Amino acid sequence: MNDTVCDLTSKQCKPCEGGVPPLSDITVADYLKQIDDWRLQGKQISKTYDFKNCYQTMAFVNAVAWVSHREDHHPDMLVGYNKCVVTYTTHAIGGLSENDFICAAKIDKLFSI
């Protein structure tokens, strides 16, 4: 994990009620370099996490829910027996915000523990 990701994990999400533009393509590209294996798909980022069994998958989903609640920024999750796809976008602005990358970095940190 590089130092910039550590900077993202130490940040807190800021409330977003709209009225601000989504991040520019250049800024998105810079943030993507700071998080491992997240893919840009249109106006969202996503990553698939693989697990050994359903129990580990559900434990991860619950941990993501805890982070999401604390940050008040919630992903879409597609959950299967041994995998979870996590997708972030900021619906209020119709694109990506710094909040999406802060949460992605925090979720990666959870997964590495």
Task: Give dist(CA 77, CA 33) in Å, integer.
Answer: 22
Report the pLDDT value the prediction gives residue 113, as an integer from 0 to 100. 64
- Give the chain's domain count: 1
The verdict on residue 25 lying in a domain is: no
**Is 57 inside a domain boundary?**
yes
54 in any annotated domain:
yes
**pTM, 2 dp:** 0.90
pLDDT in 10s for each residue of the chain, 113 residues: 444 445 898 888 888 877 889 999 999 999 999 999 999 999 999 999 999 999 999 999 999 999 999 999 999 999 999 999 999 999 999 999 999 999 999 999 987 76
Give the amino acid at 66: W
**Inside any domain, residue 77:** yes
Q: Is 16 within a domain?
A: no
88: domain range? 41-113
pLDDT tens string 58-68: 999 999 999 99
In a domain, 29, yes or no: no
**Domain for residue 62, yes or no?**
yes
- Residue 86 included in any domain: yes
What CATH number does the domain containing 91 carry?
Answer: 3.30.1360.20
Pairwise CA distance, residues 100 & 88, whole Å: 6
